[in-house]
Amino acid sequence: MSLPLISILTPFKNTESFITECIDSIRNQTYSNWELVIVDDGSTDRSYDLVESYRKRDPRIQLLKNSGTGIIDALQLALEQASGTFITRMDSDDIMAPNKLEVLANNLMSHGKKHVAIGLVRYFCADGVGEGYRHYESWLNDLTKLGTNYTEIYKECVIPSPCWMIHKDDLLACGAFHPRQYPEDYDLTFRFYKHQFKCIPCDHVLHFWRDYPTRTSRTHVHYEHNHFTALKTHHFIAIDYNPDKKLVVWGAGSKGKKTAKILLEHGIAFEWICNNPNKISRSIYGKVLQPFSHLGTWRNTQSIITVANKKAQKEIRHYLDTLNLRPVRDYVFFC
């Protein structure tokens, strides 16, 4: 029996320093029935020529030029040209573990449709990996080992953009790359979640994620945190908001304010609490902030927690546990 064809979708722009290492890692996969649909998004360096040299040597590589602008247009074009039963993404500056496609494909074949195959990731950087990325890697991998990624979906993107695989039919069913919403990987993760595609647990490191100062996720306006907060709030309203519960927003920092503003724009009633004595009893956007102590007087609540302090988050989790409240159903962390 022939193995399913995997289409690897890879946009690239000015990654000449890394793209050969990326393509070599794809060509060295233990799973050989793949096609690389790779799209140049307006490179001005030697990236295109380097990929073209590979295309001439390997018929599995399909090289295209983006007919639009930006990563979403490039992904749309790549998907239109993809012939695979399974679809995965790859970033042109990263490296696949040799067994990445094999592990992800085997997991998908074992579990069937309505599943997303994922794997552990490892950051690497010439100058050393920063503490923030190490923490994110550890947090993300702990979720992936158990397949419990969605339990913390409102905190950060719980499925790494270059380390998932899905049936093409399922990807199309949830809209694929057509919504023009950034960050596009986080938006797609929410749509996987909305369509109840289950995450398959995995304990293999399958993807090596390169960090460097000019990486798009570090420098592009589309990946600034105000975009993340807006995305989370809109998806929360569409997917998990329960109008039969009293909605409570915790925290009045920048994320709390952004969340509150969007809720008000949607005409959604909520209580707003914080522990900053300089803000308690003040009115922001016409909404009076109340102290945390008010929380104990309310019943049947659903909370959006925008408190960023790690120690405070632990205390809040402990408090919510004592009330037998559950993640997502009763509360979500936006930080």
96 belongs to a structural domain: yes
> Residue 128: its pLDDT value, please?
86
With H, G, I as helix, E, B as strand and everything else as coil, classify residue 179. Answer: coil
Best CA proximity match to 235, nearest among 169, 137, 157: 157
Same domain for 272 and 182, yes or no, is: no
Same domain for 148 and 186, yes or no, is: yes
Q: Which of 185, 200, 217 is the last residue before a domain boundary?
A: 217
Q: What is the CATH number of the domain that holds 40?
A: 3.90.550.10
Same domain for 231 and 173, yes or no, is: no
> Residue 227: its pLDDT value, please?
83
Q: Which of 178, 201, 217 is the last residue before a domain boundary?
A: 217
> Residue 224: its pLDDT value, please?
58
Same domain for 45 and 192, yes or no, is: yes
C-beta separation of 63 from 8 below 8 A: no
Q: What is the CATH number of the domain that holds 290?
A: 3.40.50.20
Cα four-point dihedral sign 68, 70, 72, 77: positive
> Residue 126: its pLDDT value, please?
86
> Residue 222: its pLDDT value, please?
47
1 belongs to a structural domain: no
How far, in Å, CA of 151 to CA of 19, rounded?
Answer: 34
Same domain for 49 and 150, yes or no, is: yes
313 is in which domain, residue-wise? 225-333
Per-residue pLDDT of the chain (335 residues; tens, 9 = 90+): 689 999 999 999 999 999 999 999 999 999 999 999 999 999 999 999 999 999 999 999 999 999 999 999 999 999 999 999 999 999 999 999 999 999 999 999 999 999 999 999 999 998 888 898 999 999 999 999 999 999 999 999 999 999 999 999 999 999 999 888 899 999 999 999 999 999 999 999 999 999 988 666 544 454 455 689 999 999 999 999 999 999 999 999 999 999 999 999 999 999 999 989 999 999 999 999 999 888 888 999 999 999 999 899 999 999 889 888 889 999 999 99
Same domain for 232 and 166, yes or no, is: no
Same domain for 152 and 77, yes or no, is: yes
Residue 263 makes CB contacts below 8 A (sequence gap 6+) with 233, 237, 247, 249, 270
C-beta separation of 320 from 263 below 8 A: no
Same domain for 153 and 250, yes or no, is: no
Residue 259 makes CB contacts below 8 A (sequence gap 6+) with 229, 232, 233, 249, 304, 306, 334
Phi and psi for 10 in degrees, rounded to 5? Answer: -140, 105
Give how many domains the chain has, as a whole number. Answer: 2
Same domain for 271 and 299, yes or no, is: yes
Same domain for 178 and 262, yes or no, is: no
173 belongs to a structural domain: yes
Q: Which of 193, 217, 241 is the last residue before a domain boundary?
A: 217
> Residue 2: its pLDDT value, please?
86
